Homo-oligomer: A and B are copies of this chain.
Amino acid sequence: MVPRLAPAWPAWLFRWRAARAPGASGQPSARDGASGARPGGGPRRFAGASTPVRRGSSSSSSRGPEVVLTCERYPVQRLPFSVVSAEDLAAFERIVPGRVVTDPEELEASNVDWLRSMRGCSKVLLRPRTSEEVSHILRYCHGRNLAVNPQGGNTGLVGGSVPIFDEIILSTALMNQVISFHDVSGALVCQAGCVLEELSRHVEERGFVVPLDLGAKGSCHIGGNLATNAGGLRLLRYGSLRGTVLGLEAVLADGTILNGLSSLRKDNTGYDLKQLFIGSEGTLGVITAVSILCPPKPRAVNVAFLGCPGFAEVLQTFSTCKGMLGEILSAFEFMDAECMRLVQQHLLLASPVQESPFYVLVETSGSSAEHDAEKLSGFLEHVLGSGLVADGTLATDERKVKTLWALRERITEALSRDGYVYKYDVSLPVDRLYDLVTDLRARLGPQAKRVVGYGHLGDGNLHLNVSAEAFSASLLGDLEPYVYEWTAGQRGSISAEHGIGFKKRSALGYSKPPAALRLMRQLKTLLDPKGILNPYKTLPAQA
C-alpha cells in the first residue's frame, strides 16, 4: 500500500548531520546553526514593506530583512534528540507518500514565524491528512527520539509554532475537512487544520457562528486555536474555548490516538482529558480534530466606534455599556491614539471619528434589530450626553461594520510594518490596565519608536506593544523582567491569550507558583516522557 522505495534526498539535507560526530548528543551550539551549512538555507524571496502582509492573508516570507536564527538570538541549547536521517525520510515517505517537504524554499515559511522574529532550521515538513497518519508519524518519531513541532497556520505570536532547531514540522494544513455539522445543536466537528475563516463561512451559511474570532482568522487553524486556547474578539460574549469546545481528538507522543470527539453539551464521565490539550501548545499531544458548539448567528449586529477623552472615561463607558446593553453586548475593545496613527500611517485607514486620546469599539449582537437599536441608541445618547464620549459613529450594515472592525483588528499588522515589535499580552485589573503603557513610555523614552496599548478591555486583556527600528538586546533588557514584574505586582497574568510558546517561558514563574510549575512538568513527563513534542516551548528550561 505504501511505496517501499525511498526517493532520492538532496545532499544538503545531511550536511549538518555529517558535521556532527555520530554518537555525540547531536546538540549543536548556536553558532553551528548559523554556519554556511545551515540546513534550510536555500534562496529566499523578499519584497518591500509595501507588500500587503495582513495577518492571515499572506506568508511571512514576503517582507523585511533576514530573520536571525532563534538559537543565535536567544541562549538556548539543542536537546539530545536524534537528527533526521535518510532512512527517516524514507520512512516518512512511506507514511505520507508525496507529502514529505524538504525543499528549503518551501520550508522557509514554516521555519520563520509570522512576526519574523524567530527562525528554526527544520529540514523536513510532513503533511498528514488523517489522524492515523499523525499517529504513525509520532509513533515513529517516538521510537527514533526525533523532536516534532506541530504547526497549524503559523500565526502565533510567542514563537510556539516554529521549530527552534531542526524539529520535524508536522503541519495540519491538509487536515482540513469538516466532518459534520448538526444544524439543530450547532455542534461542528472538523479536522484540526480547518482555517477559522472557512469554518466561519461554513456555519454562517447554516445560521450559526463559530464562538471564536480573531485577526488571524484568514490563516489560523482551529487546531492551533485550541492548542493556544485562543481568546479573541468574541470571548466576552461566548466565553472561552474551555467551555465551548465539546470534544477533541489528540494523538499522544507515542502515537496513541485519544478519541474524545464528543458532540454532547454535557459529559461528566471522569476526568475532562480534552482540557489537557487546550492551551498546552502542542507540548502534550497533537490535536487532530475538534468538536465545538456554535451559537446561533445573531439576527442583528451593530458596531459603535467612539472617541473618549481619557482612560477613566473608557472605563466608565464600559461600566455604562454593561449595564445598558446587558446580554446583547458582544465586544468591548479599546485602542489608544498611537494605535490609530499606526493604522492610518501603515495601512492608510481613515479614522471615522474626531481625534481622541482613546477609541472604543462596542459591538452588540442580538435577535431583534429593533430592540438592539433601541438599547444602543439609549446607551449612545447617555455616553455622548454625559461627556464620556466625545464623538462616535454607528454601523449596522455589514460593510461598514467590517470597516470599523478593521481599525481594531489590523493593529497587529500595522505594528509589524513599524519595525521590530516587542509584544506583551497581559491580563490586569481593568482600572490599572493602561497605567502599564504610561509607565513604560516614561521608562523607555526615545529608545522605543512607539509604545502602544490596545486590547479586549471587556476581558481585562491589554496588548502592549513596543516597536523599534530593529531588535535590541538592551531594549529587551529594559522591558523584561520589568513588564512581568509590573504585571505580577497587580496579580495579573503575563499571558492572557497568546500563550507561552518559546518567548515567554522564562517568565512563567511570574504567574505560576512553584507547585504549579512542578505539576506542569510532571504532566509533561507523563504524557511525553521523551519530550519530543514541541520542545523548548511552554515549560521553563530545566535548570
Q: Which residues of A line the B interface, CB within 8 A?
A: 184-185, 228-229, 231, 235, 239-240, 242-244, 252, 256-260, 262-273, 275-276, 278-280, 284, 296, 298-299, 319, 322-328, 365-368, 371, 374-375, 427, 429-431, 456, 459-461, 491-500, 504, 508, 511-513, 515-517, 519-520, 522-523, 526-527, 538-539
Extra 20 A-B pairs, beta carbons < 8 Å, given A184-B431, A270-B500, A368-B375? A229-B272, A235-B266, A239-B244, A242-B275, A258-B513, A260-B516, A265-B460, A266-B456, A267-B493, A268-B498, A270-B280, A271-B279, A271-B520, A271-B538, A296-B322, A298-B327, A326-B368, A327-B365, A367-B375, A522-B526
Assembled-state Cα–Cα distance A516/B267 (Å): 14
Q: Which 10 A-B pairs have the closest CB atoms?
A: A243-B243, A326-B367, A275-B275, A267-B493, A269-B511, A266-B496, A264-B427, A239-B243, A371-B371, A327-B327
Contacts of A235 in B (CB 8 A): 265-266
Q: Say whether B268 contacts A500, CB under 8 Å.
A: yes
Q: Say whether A508 contacts B266, CB under 8 Å.
A: no
Contacts of A365 in B (CB 8 A): 327
Contacts of A184 in B (CB 8 A): 319, 430-431
Q: Which of A269, A375, A523 has the most CB of B within 10 A?
A: A269
Assembled-state Cα–Cα distance A538/B368 (Å): 45
Contacts of A499 in B (CB 8 A): 268
Given contacts A371-B375, A526-B526, contact A270 B366 (CB under 8 A): no
Q: How far is the CB of A71 from chain B (nearest CB, A)?
A: 23
Contacts of A266 in B (CB 8 A): 231, 235, 240, 427, 456, 459-461, 493, 496-497
Contacts of A429 in B (CB 8 A): 185
Q: Report the copy number of this chain in the oligomer.
A: 2
Assembled-state Cα–Cα distance A526/B519 (Å): 9
Contacts of A228 in B (CB 8 A): 268
Assembled-state Cα–Cα distance A516/B260 (Å): 8
Contacts of A299 in B (CB 8 A): 326
Residue of B whose beta carbon sits closest to that of A241 = B243
Residue of B whose beta carbon sits closest to that of A182 = B429
Residue of B whose beta carbon sits closest to that of A186 = B322
Residue of B whose beta carbon sits closest to that of A295 = B327
Q: How far is the CB of A376 from chain B (nearest CB, A)?
A: 12
Assembled-state Cα–Cα distance A323/B459 (Å): 28
CB within 8 A of A508: which of B263, B270, B491? B270
Assembled-state Cα–Cα distance A430/B271 (Å): 24
Contacts of A271 in B (CB 8 A): 276, 279-280, 284, 519-520, 523, 538
CB within 8 A of A515: which of B258, B298, B497, B515? B258
Residue of B whose beta carbon sits closest to that of A458 = B265
Assembled-state Cα–Cα distance A431/B258 (Å): 28
Given contacts A265-B427, A375-B367, contact A270 B539 (CB under 8 A): yes
Q: Which of A367, A520, A539 has the most CB of B within 10 A?
A: A367
Contacts of A375 in B (CB 8 A): 367-368, 371
